[in-house]
Structure 1
Amino acid sequence: MVEIHVTYRGELRCGAVHAPSSAELVTDAPVDNQGRGESYSPTDLVATALGSCMLTIMGIRARDEGWDLDGATVKVTKHMVADPRRRISKLEVRFALPNLADEARDVLERAAETCPVFESIHPNIEVPVHFGWAELVR
């Protein structure tokens, strides 16, 4: 169990503290939803959580197998809709990864698509994933 303490700071901004580490982050409502867009929005954090979780789980498997995943990147593009309610409609995920053997690719792709955040995404949200093997330039 982990606690996150969130405080409303006014003007559509919140501060959040990760209790175990005391790390802080700030959220701000996006410009298209009456905010200033000066920091991550709450829905941006969903996209951030997805990409970082997928890479972290891939990193665990790569480390366990002795595969070098250093420098791998992921870009998550968040799409919003407003009808019937404002919500995330799609999270497009694009990886740039080193050139690894087919066996490693299969293991790491399965790992990414079974990370806890991916498993927690509502089925109404599309999550197309592209693994760009050999796209990482070192």
Structure 2
Amino acid sequence: MPTIKSSYLGNLRTESEHLQSSVKILTDAPVDNNGKGEAFSPTDLVASALGSCMVTIMGIVANRDSVSLDGLTWEVTKIMQGSPRKINEIIVDFNWDNPITDTSMIQKLKNAAKTCPVALSLDSEIKQTLNFNF
């Protein structure tokens, strides 16, 4: 059974629907690639997926050990390569204003992030730079 159903809407825009939840996402080509840049580009979604996957797996580890990740935020920077046009690097900056002080747990969280399914699925040519500001 499919997970996602998508349609081309014209003008370099697509719509994808997550079939289980009916949540929809639009994509638009970026301005530097003939688009309007009015929505996530497909490569933006890849970069966003990396950060979200990392935090999801960190959350699973934290929940298992009764640790709260409240206040954890992250910013993702995607760096494109010109020719061929592809993602060259994804930088994820994790920020946590009130982190836990258990160094063992912090290391577990970092390891969880580095081994999330998206991180392991991306081509090894895509540099993944992670900054844990906690």
Map of 1:2-81 to 2, 5 A cutoff?
Answer: 3-81=3-81
Question: Can you give the 5+ residue segments of structure 2 that lack an aligned partner in the other structure?
Answer: none
Q: Which residue of 2 aligns with 1:127?
A: 128
Alignment-mate amino acid for residue 4 of structure 1: I
| Structure-1 residue corresponding to 2:86 | 87
What is residue 99 of structure 1 aligned with on the other side? Answer: 99
- Higher alpha-carbon deviation: 94-103 or 32-41: 94-103
1:87 corresponds to which letter in structure 2? K
The two structures, once aligned, show a CA RMSD in angstroms of: 1.1
Number of residue pairs the alignment of both structures matches:
132
Question: Alpha-carbon deviations, 1:27-61, whole Å to 9, x = none?
Answer: 00000000000000000000110010001110111
C-alpha distance in 1, partners of 2:114/2:105?
14
Contact 1:2–1:20 (Cα < 8 Å) also in 2? no
Equivalent residue letter for 1:41 = S
Q: TM-score, normalised by structure 2?
A: 0.95
Displacement of 1:2 after TM fit?
A: 5.1
Runs of 4+ in structure 1 off by over 4 angstroms are: none
